[in-house]
Amino acid sequence: MKIYINGKFYSKEDAKISVYDHGLLYGDGVFEGITFYNGKIFRLAQHIRRLYESAQTIMLKIPLSFGKMIEDVKKTVELSGLKNGYIRLIVTRGEGNLGLNPFTCQQPQVIIIADKIALYPKELYATGLNVITVPTLRTPSEAMSPRVKSLNYLNNIMAKMEAINAGADEALMLNANGFVAECAGDNIFTVKDNAVYTPGPSAGILKGVTRDAVIELAEKNGLMVYEIDMSRHDIYNADECFLTGSAAEIVPVIKLDGRTIGSGKPGPVTKTLLEQFKKLIETEPEVVCK
């Protein structure tokens, strides 16, 4: 495995950046998590587009063109020696002085890692997750747009810790208005009366690439998809519930806050969407927009 840093490749042991990098000091930077299957990267262009949008919002100038970034990600995957895996693409503000001023940072750092990841044990895809609502709220959009996939992930980490400490598999996070936002690392969906529901961007969510793919699949199956202000009541009384994310793909949820959801087993819509998603990642051509 080789780690890409600013156009050069290093072994894992030799891949280093400065301790004065503002990405380390202040979480000042953006990233993407991307999956690849049989060497083919799933929706790479969409991920790169979101990376550049995140960078634009925080006034971070990425030192590579869109097309060059695509090429370098592909090269990193090739050198990984993996057929299936996960890409962590990071752009930091770069090395600067101690202090918040980002304009002391002269050169953003681009880091690309291709490795393995497993968010949930394999058996949970068959049995479903036990989720709890945690006290940590999703960062309000007025503070920092959750659509910016920033390196400062402490909000999500605290939520995940609270779930683990309570013996749950995942954390459900609410927004400041008390509505459902998302889970610590994934978007959330419910199924009720053969329609699909999910919080919209205004709820304070990351607009996930896998989320978009699942909405497309649901609509192709003739299912109505509604983006709504969702309460926990909606989840407690849903027929089915599932999470989506690049690393997680589609994983069923069978319990929230001690309430069994639906039959207490992964439902038919969830199973169908998971099967079709697996076909999609195998058959979808790799489209690149330069």
71 lies in the same domain as 128: no
Q: Are 106 and 141 contained in the same domain?
A: no
Among the candidates 86, 115, 144, a domain finishes at 115
Average pLDDT rounded to a whole number, residues 232-257 = 98
Q: Is the pLDDT reported for residue 289 higher than 90?
A: no
What is the reported pLDDT for 1? Answer: 85
Catalytic residues: 149
In this prediction, residue 290 carries a pLDDT of 47
Q: What is the pLDDT, as a whole number, of residue 288?
A: 52
Say yes or no: 136 and 99 in one domain.
Answer: no
On whether both 235 and 252 belong to a single domain, the answer is: yes
Domain residues for 152? 124-282
Q: What value does the mean pLDDT take over residues 5-33? A: 97
Q: Is residue 162 domain-shared with residue 65, that is, in the same domain?
A: no
Q: Is residue 288 part of a domain?
A: no
* Domain stops at, among 115, 144, 165: 115
SS (H, E, C) the chain: CEEEECCEEEEHHHCCCCCCEHHHHHCCEEEEEEEEECCEECCHHHHHHHHHHHHHHCCCCCCCCHHHHHHHHHHHHHHHCCCCEEEEEEEECCECCCCCCHHHCCCCEEEEEEECCCCCCCCHHHHCEEEEECCCCCCCCCCCCCCCCECCCHHHHHHHHHHHHCCCCEEEEECCCCCEEEECCCEEEEEECCEEEEECHHHCCCCCHHHHHHHHHHHHCCCCEEEECCCHHHHHCCCEEEEEECCCEEEEEEEECCEECCCCCCCHHHHHHHHHHHHHHHHCCCCCCC
Q: What is the mean pLDDT of the chain?
A: 96
Domain count, the chain: 2
The mean pLDDT of 265-288, rounded to a whole number, is 90
Q: Mean per-residue pLDDT for 15-21?
A: 97
Residue 287's pLDDT is what? 57
Weakest mean pLDDT among 158-167, 220-229, 240-249, 277-286: 277-286
Answer whether residue 78 is part of any domain. Answer: yes
Query: How far from 99 is each of 22, 25, 28, CA to CA, in Å?
Result: 9, 9, 12
- 157 and 277 co-located in one domain: yes
**Do 163 and 253 belong to one domain?**
yes
Residue 278 has pLDDT above 80, yes or no: yes
pLDDT value at position 198? 98
Q: Are residues 147 and 224 in the same domain?
A: yes
- Domain's final residue, options 92, 115, 138: 115
Quick one: average pLDDT of 154-182?
Answer: 97
* Rounded-to-integer distance, Cα 132 and Cα 153, Å: 19
Residues 95, 186: one domain? Answer: no
Q: Dihedral sign, CA of 208, 88, 72, 285?
A: negative
Residues 6 or more apart whose Cβ sits within 8 Å of residue 277: 210, 213, 214, 217, 249, 250
Average pLDDT of span 253-260: 98
Summarize pLDDT for 43-94 with one digit per residue, the tens. 999 999 999 999 999 999 999 999 999 999 999 999 999 999 999 999 999 9
Q: For residue 131, what pLDDT is reported?
A: 98
CATH number at residue 94: 3.30.470.10
Structural domain includes residue 289: no
Four-CA torsion 42, 46, 49, 51, nearest 10 degrees: -60
Q: Is residue 12 part of a domain?
A: yes
pTM of the model: 0.95
State pLDDT tens for residues 179-201.
999 999 999 999 999 999 999 99
Residue 137 and residue 100 share a domain: no
Residues 267 and 146 both lie in one domain: yes
Q: Who contacts 212 (Cβ-Cβ below 8 Å, separation ≥6)? A: 46
Q: What is the band of 260 on the pLDDT scale with cuts at 50, 70, 90?
A: very high
> Is there a single domain that holds both residue 108 and residue 137?
no
Residue 214, domain member (yes or no):
yes
